[in-house]
Chains A and B, each alone.
Chain A
Amino acid sequence: MQTILEMKGITKHFPGVRALHNIDLDLREGEIHALVGENGAGKSTIIKILMGVHHRSEGEIRLYGKPCDIRDPLHAQSLGLGAVYQDVNLAQHLSVAENLFMGSMPRRLPGIINRAEMNSETTRIMESIGVKVDPRAIISTLSVAQQEMVAIGKILRKTPKLVIFDEPTALLTTEETEQLFRIIAKLKADGVGVLYISHRMEEIFRICDRATVLKDGEKVATVDITDVDEDRLISMMVGRSVHDMYGIDHCEPGEIVLSVENLSRAGEFHKVNFQVRRGEIFGMFGLVGSGRSEIVHSIFGARKPDSGRVLHNGEVANYRNPRRAIKAGMALIPEDRKGQGLALGLPITDNTNMASMELISSLGVLDTRKSIGTAQTYVDALQTKTPSVFQLVKNLSGGNQQKVVIGKWLAAGSDLFVFDEPTVGVDVGAKFEIYKVFENLVKQGKTLVVISSYLPEVMGLSDRLLIMYEGRQMAILKKDEFDEERILRLASGIK
């Protein structure tokens, strides 16, 4: 098998930071190669160097044995490199075909687009990966999974030699993930090299041939996947061994904190009923689109339910806006961290204090000393990795960003925490730390609602579990009733 890509001694410096040190990596034809490591280990930097976003400081890159200097993203594409990112980067207002052919639309006459050809070619490409989609459909009307397929189609149109998948399954349902794996298998069969990045171990063991483990910007090892097991790989990543990931202490639940009665919102969820007790970790499981996030957003006052009511600490609490919910002690850690959880361009100080400015101000004037102190307190308490509390949040890794969001609500003194997909895009090490935070919260008598589409996680963490399917509440199971198969069946609408 021919080697497509060789990276030798790649080092990358950013001002004041060494992001990568002496990395060697090679990728063969028809190989699926996993790149694993905690957030901040240097995976993104490698991708960005390959895609021409960053330039290496030292080292050599060879494509098919020839040294090459990847100048910019366009150059990377022309060399046959393509990348599918977690947050798909498509023009939302344009059609599928227009996205696929952006920059090189087929023409009838100079300047006149040949739409018929463009659309039929789009259909052909999409069908080659088993996806049926109207080439004229506007991207913003498609589901996340469909958009991801379009992004893949866009790369395939340029007949790539190497495709990078960066957390491609983070937002996909089980079924959509299967479809993606079929597409990847097809790429492999066609001799394309695949660089696969995921935090989900079972995926790596299922589809990958080899794995390169990174830690703190250095390469730990490249291993054949058949030579290692999950525990071994994780311990290489975090530098320590792991046993029970979800082994946190639980508490005896107290009085009812939150009671949801017949809550409905047209097109999203219907007659949802549940109660959450103090000190409990209440899980919510369901596939994407099952209405989980919409329910908690309604409870939080971020959108308005059509009917039903919410009781919070025994009082009717159909909050009209998030501000009221927050005043009453509720906290929402949203799924879309970058879009809804953080002000990326601002430092940790501003982000930490965003929900609690009124607590540290008098007559509208902030106590800046306190605001810095608070930020420092939660950076220390959550072991957020950052040079200082003045670091802009966009420069932090996913796990550390999530810690900043959690710190914001701890600073606000919240009592009821709603975590929507708390560990999406978070590496194994930071996951442990986030679970430890859960443990500490329940110890302090706080109440947690945890939404996750990652079943081992919700099963491992929850005291009880609510299962949703297409807006309907299927069941609430107690911990001793948890059974993976049964939960999956319920989540697929089978009673």
Chain B
Amino acid sequence: MNVIAGKRLKLWSGSGKTEIFLAAVLLVLFVVFGTLSPVFLTTFNLMNLLRQTAIVGVVTIGMVFVIISSGIDLSVGSVVGFSGVITATALVAGVPIPLAILAAVSLSALVGLVNGVLIYDGKVPPFIATLGTMAVLRAVIMLITGAQMISGLPREFLVIAQASLFGIPILAVVWIALTVVAFLVIRTTVFGRSIFAYGSNKEAARLSGINVRHTLYGVYMYSAVMCAIAGVLLTARLSSATPTAGSGFELDAIAAAVVGGASLSGGEGSILGAFLGALMMSTLRQGGTLIGLNSFIMEIIIGSLIVVAVLLDQVRKRRGGQTR
């Protein structure tokens, strides 16, 4: 029995080395910025950091699912914007808050399903399929809004972005909760393990009786739902829905997922790693601003760091004797 318990623990730490590495880098960044800026380590600033990271962080969760399945989802930014516009339009029309959110989430899930159908049934490569939905959806947003911002949202809705729970901003609470849920889904559900099996070897998964179709639909719908939630949070935070909201999120999300140990060839990825990856990138941005670093130089550092993180991870894996 003891043996089994020991092994269980090992499974839970999984390929924990990437995560430990990221946590160490984060710690170093905190020490550096804390030393250079008196404000950085204040509670106010740290909470603000969480709040800023939360929205892209939520999008990243879905992206990890997609990347493990050996896919990519470029439509995330458009879905974030779409969800925000639906929520805001509904709210302005007087629809109750829960219903407005539900509408945004379900319509976005539908977009995810379309991605899934295009990719599984239409055999369109994920990159192309989601590139298409990304463009189409952004145009739909423009049509709905007439390229205008939607404001005048009810106060009770805006509270989402301002309120805190036990001193932690609601935005961050949502992000952390969704991370925990996704962690459990990936590690302990049939759906989660099926994604890994599919991402690692599609044919073996199919011949092992895994419901490949549902797994793939599920992956893109999960991603879309995460984006929908991120869209709601973003709208609350900006007090309005802007037609361009969410643009560029796909790159941040992919970067965070990959820095967190996800492999674009599939079958590999970590929710906790992506969480830390997202946090690391926003820490750099915010810390850099606080110590007055030129923002262009900041972007150079972030871009390099993404590559370096993945490079170091590859070196570590090779050292681990996993050469092919």
Q: A327-365 toward B: CB 8 Å interface, digit per residue (1/0)?
A: 100001010000111111110011001110110010011
Q: How far is the CB of A165 from chain B (nearest CB, A)?
A: 21
Q: How far is the CB of A371 from chain B (nearest CB, A)?
A: 8
* Residue B267, interface by CB 8 Å: yes
Q: B179-192 toward A: CB 8 Å interface, digit per residue (1/0)?
A: 00000000111111
- Of B192, B204, B267, B323, which one neighbours A354 at CB under 8 angstroms? B204
Inter-chain contact A349/B197, CB cutoff 8 Å: no
Q: How far is the CB of A414 from chain B (nearest CB, A)?
A: 10
Q: How far is the CB of A269 from chain B (nearest CB, A)?
A: 19
Inter-chain contact A365/B188, CB cutoff 8 Å: yes
- Of B189, B201, B209, B322, which one neighbours A326 at CB under 8 angstroms? B209
Q: How far is the CB of A368 from chain B (nearest CB, A)?
A: 6
Contacting residues, chain B, for A332 (C-beta < 8 A): 207
Contacting residues, chain A, for B201 (C-beta < 8 A): 339-340, 342-345
* Residue B10, interface by CB 8 Å: yes
Inter-chain contact A349/B207, CB cutoff 8 Å: no
- Of B4, B194, B197, which one neighbours A369 at CB under 8 angstroms? B4
Contacting residues, chain B, for A355 (C-beta < 8 A): 208-210
A366→B211 CA distance, assembly (Å): 16
The residue on B at minimum CB distance from A371 is B193
Inter-chain contact A366/B204, CB cutoff 8 Å: no
Inter-chain contact B206/A372, CB cutoff 8 Å: no
- Tell me whether chain B's interface is mostly helix, strand or loop, or mixed: helix
Inter-chain contact B200/A346, CB cutoff 8 Å: yes
Inter-chain contact A15/B203, CB cutoff 8 Å: no
Question: What count of chain A residues pass the 8 Å CB interface test?
Answer: 48
Inter-chain contact A394/B206, CB cutoff 8 Å: no
* Residue B324, interface by CB 8 Å: yes
Inter-chain contact B209/A345, CB cutoff 8 Å: no
A395→B201 CA distance, assembly (Å): 16
Contacting residues, chain A, for B189 (C-beta < 8 A): 361, 364-366
Known: A346-B197, A350-B196, A372-B4. A322 touches B207 (CB 8 A): yes
* Residue A388, interface by CB 8 Å: yes
Inter-chain contact A326/B208, CB cutoff 8 Å: yes
A108→B196 CA distance, assembly (Å): 49
Known: A14-B321, A343-B201, A346-B267. A302 touches B207 (CB 8 A): yes
Q: B306-324 toward A: CB 8 Å interface, digit per residue (1/0)?
A: 0000000000000111111
- Of B11, B204, B324, which one neighbours A340 at CB under 8 angstroms? B204
Known: A357-B194, A372-B7, A389-B7. A342 touches B204 (CB 8 A): yes
Contacting residues, chain B, for A327 (C-beta < 8 A): 209
A410→B301 CA distance, assembly (Å): 52
* Residue B205, interface by CB 8 Å: yes
A395→B194 CA distance, assembly (Å): 21
A394→B323 CA distance, assembly (Å): 10
Inter-chain contact B7/A390, CB cutoff 8 Å: yes
Contacting residues, chain B, for A388 (C-beta < 8 A): 7, 10
Q: A408-426 toward B: CB 8 Å interface, digit per residue (1/0)?
A: 1000100000000000000
A16→B191 CA distance, assembly (Å): 34
A246→B319 CA distance, assembly (Å): 42
Inter-chain contact A343/B4, CB cutoff 8 Å: no
* Residue B17, interface by CB 8 Å: no
Inter-chain contact A369/B209, CB cutoff 8 Å: no
Inter-chain contact B267/A343, CB cutoff 8 Å: yes
The residue on B at minimum CB distance from A15 is B321
Q: B264-280 toward A: CB 8 Å interface, digit per residue (1/0)?
A: 00011000000000000
Inter-chain contact B8/A372, CB cutoff 8 Å: yes
Inter-chain contact A353/B207, CB cutoff 8 Å: no
Chain A residues 395-409 with CB under 8 Å of chain B are 395, 408
Contacting residues, chain A, for B207 (C-beta < 8 A): 300, 302, 322, 332, 334, 340-341
Known: A340-B204, A354-B210, A368-B188. A390 touches B4 (CB 8 A): no
Q: A369-391 toward B: CB 8 Å interface, digit per residue (1/0)?
A: 10011001000000000001110
Inter-chain contact B193/A408, CB cutoff 8 Å: no
Q: How far is the CB of A449 from chain B (nearest CB, A)?
A: 15
Inter-chain contact A343/B321, CB cutoff 8 Å: no
Q: A281-325 toward B: CB 8 Å interface, digit per residue (1/0)?
A: 000000000000000000010100000000000000000011101
A364→B189 CA distance, assembly (Å): 5
Chain B residues 156-203 with CB under 8 Å of chain A are 187-194, 196-197, 200-201, 203
Inter-chain contact B190/A361, CB cutoff 8 Å: yes
Contacting residues, chain B, for A412 (C-beta < 8 A): 209
The residue on B at minimum CB distance from A300 is B207
Q: A71-101 toward B: CB 8 Å interface, digit per residue (1/0)?
A: 0000000000000000000000000000000
A164→B132 CA distance, assembly (Å): 48
Q: B135-167 toward A: CB 8 Å interface, digit per residue (1/0)?
A: 000000000000000000000000000000000
Inter-chain contact A343/B197, CB cutoff 8 Å: yes
* Residue A62, interface by CB 8 Å: no
- Of A343, A390, A395, which one neighbours B322 at CB under 8 angstroms? A395
A365→B268 CA distance, assembly (Å): 20
* Residue A392, interface by CB 8 Å: yes
A372→B4 CA distance, assembly (Å): 8
Contacting residues, chain B, for A323 (C-beta < 8 A): 209-211
In this complex, which of A334, A372, A395 has the most chain B Cβ atoms within 10 angstroms of its Cβ? Answer: A372
Known: A343-B267, A346-B200, A395-B321. A368 touches B11 (CB 8 A): yes
Contacting residues, chain B, for A361 (C-beta < 8 A): 189-190
Inter-chain contact A364/B191, CB cutoff 8 Å: yes
Inter-chain contact B193/A353, CB cutoff 8 Å: yes
The residue on A at minimum CB distance from B191 is A364
A14→B319 CA distance, assembly (Å): 9
Contacting residues, chain B, for A395 (C-beta < 8 A): 321-322
Q: How far is the CB of B74 from chain A (nearest CB, A)?
A: 24
A326→B211 CA distance, assembly (Å): 12
Complex A-B: 27 CB contacts under 8 Å: A15-B319, A321-B206, A323-B210, A326-B208, A342-B204, A343-B196, A343-B201, A344-B201, A345-B267, A345-B268, A346-B196, A346-B200, A350-B193, A354-B193, A354-B197, A355-B210, A358-B190, A365-B188, A365-B189, A365-B190, A366-B188, A366-B189, A368-B188, A369-B4, A372-B4, A392-B322, A395-B322
Ranked 5 nearest A-B pairs via Cβ: A343-B200, A326-B209, A15-B321, A354-B208, A355-B208
B residues apposed to A, CB below 8 Å: 4, 7-8, 10-11, 187-194, 196-197, 200-201, 203-211, 267-268, 319-324
14 further contact pairs, Cβ within 8 A, besides A366-B188, A366-B190: A15-B319, A16-B321, A343-B201, A346-B196, A357-B193, A364-B191, A366-B189, A368-B188, A369-B4, A369-B8, A372-B4, A373-B4, A392-B322, A408-B208
